[in-house]
Amino acid sequence: MSTPSPRLVSWENGTDLVIELLLARDVGTVWDALTDSGTAAAWFAPFRLGEESEDAGDDADVPASRPITFELEDIDLSGSVLSCEEYDHVLLDLDDFGVLGIRLLPLEGDTGEGTLLVFTQTAADVDTARAQASEFGPMWDTHLRLFTRSLGVNIAEATEPELDAAYSDLALEAGDAGDGPDSVDASSATADRAES
């Protein structure tokens, strides 16, 4: 049975809320469910993608971005896709939430293929990350549990008080200087866990 594993990771240029989740599904299955608008409606919201920014072109100083809009029940949540590599990661900048990343790491074990899903929400500093974790962590945790169930993977229920307690005082880890949020990698510890 899977359960989310949250912590804060401090980088050279900020601090991330990191939530890891082991999924008993291969990366292709997880990626397809993650990036399908219809499937996303079951665990977050359907989305629509706009055209890639024409400003990017060949200029290395202007990153390619693509508008994305999540169609929530009463409002639209807008943002942009900053980076996306099929079957590896997606990095979003969403209004009201900032930079969010999801990375998929393939795992092989005794039970066959699996995936380590690493969700991140980036903040400028530890205090901001703690505030975001307390405010948004329970919500992200709930959506990740819904995503897990949409894959047919068994996951424990969590009550609102349990989630509030879990995200109100997270452990803080130091990340490697070269593995900041721009790399969409949670930490060297994540890579180590993925390999074991």
The token pair at 56 is 């990017």
The token pair at 188 is 């060297």
90 phi, psi to nearest 5 deg: -140, 135
Task: Name the pTM for this structure.
Answer: 0.83
The owner of tokens 């949250």 is 6
| 24-81 pLDDT, tens digit each | 999 999 999 999 988 898 999 889 888 776 655 555 554 568 999 999 888 999 999 9
For residues 24 and 111, is the Cβ–Cβ distance under 8 A?
Answer: yes
Q: What is the CATH number of domain 5-42+85-195?
A: 3.30.530.20
| 148-179 pLDDT, tens digit each | 999 999 999 999 999 999 999 899 998 865 44
Task: Enumerate the domain spans of the chain.
Answer: 5-42+85-195
